[in-house]
Structure 1
């Protein structure tokens, strides 16, 4: 008798915390807080809040990594706010790479649209999972784990990614180490790189110290 009552109570309790409105379009004029964006007033919501055209055009791949990520997160696509979903477009020039990075707030699903991309991730036991993906192939990257994508063909590549959060977050390992003012001595001690290597990478990625 206890178990049915327990499940009934759990159901009633969970339903009391269920979504009490259809959507929560991001109010981009308000501050972004720990819980994300606050909701626009329903009277100000329009259909354009639920439409995003920014993934139609390729991103700028004339850069250091020869790749571009065009996000459709809550800051760009207010309609996904609070829904636990978002998207991004990944464009790769020849030799393009999305460096080792993590999304602290979301898992990712990648689908290759054009070309071939070698992609992979490293789990918390430091085991590596990677494979070359071709057109139509899909790969998942669990939340918070380091992962990467590299164009391995002699022509441009294109992929789209979906995320289990409206704001998945991003930390790129190379920039976390070499793109800030973390003292070189500490980087050398923690990475076993020598001073010349650290200074060279800081010069490339904009770091100081």
Structure 2
């Protein structure tokens, strides 16, 4: 029975590791601070002594300001994560404002640490995500003002403004630091570049086309 108990505890711990993302807090808050002298270090951040916390630690201002969409994708993401709002540390959430020019695209990307829930505030968006191998099933919908859509954690997804006017959406993310991997930039703009012959074989493309794409995407994404 003792051996069984050890195995059972191990399975429980593995389950928590498998299904949990940001750690659950064991105190009211743990405001992130850029000070290595702090004795508390949680979830990748040093923590301010709670008695020195102030209201501004839990405040971010500026999501009323439209992002600059003058870029090749015609979109802009203003992300409010733990780096922008220290009070988010250990709380497991973040927020983003997404602006779209007419026919602007938030290109296919993934959030490795977060599910995303999106609400359309203005305009109309074609959204979609693709499931993992082997099915790679594509789920898609056109959203209008007030519509809500969810993108499961880690899956490739996008939003495309199908209207002739600018669009606006807000997204909640289930991590204080969700991360983002923009597919085209990661594959064709890595540092250093992935060898051309690898991508040539993987995408069944001519080497000249791969080299062209590497020149196009060898720069940072818009967020």
Deviation per CA, 1:118-160: give whole Å up to 9, x if none: 0010011200000110000000000000100101111110000
**Alpha carbons 1:54, 1:70 under 8 Å: kept:** no
Q: Which residue of 2 aligns with 1:168?
A: 178
Is residue 114 of structure 2 the alignment partner of residue 106 of structure 1?
yes
Q: Which residue of 1 aligns with 2:156?
A: 146
Distance 1:57 1:28, change over 3 A: farther
**Alpha carbons 1:98, 1:149 under 8 Å: kept:** yes
Q: Which residue of 1 aligns with 2:67?
A: 59
**Alpha carbons 2:42, 2:90 under 8 Å: kept:** no
Distance 1:146 1:42, change over 3 A: same
TM norm structure 1: 0.85
**Alpha carbons 1:70, 1:90 under 8 Å: kept:** yes
Deviation at 1:36, TM superposition (A): 2.5
2:207 to 170, 178, 195: 195
Deviation at 1:54, TM superposition (A): 2.8
Runs of 4+ in 1 over 6 A off after TM superposition: none
Q: Which runs of 5+ in 1 are unaligned?
A: 1-9, 11-16
Deviation per CA, 1:103-128: give whole Å up to 9, x if none: 01010000000000000100112000
Deviation at 1:193, TM superposition (A): 1.7
Deviation at 1:38, TM superposition (A): 2.3
Q: What number of residue pairs does the alignment pair up?
A: 191
Q: Which residue of 1 aligns with 2:198?
A: 186
Q: Which runs of 5+ in 2 are unaligned?
A: 1-11, 13-22
TM norm structure 2: 0.80
Distance 1:179 1:56, change over 3 A: same
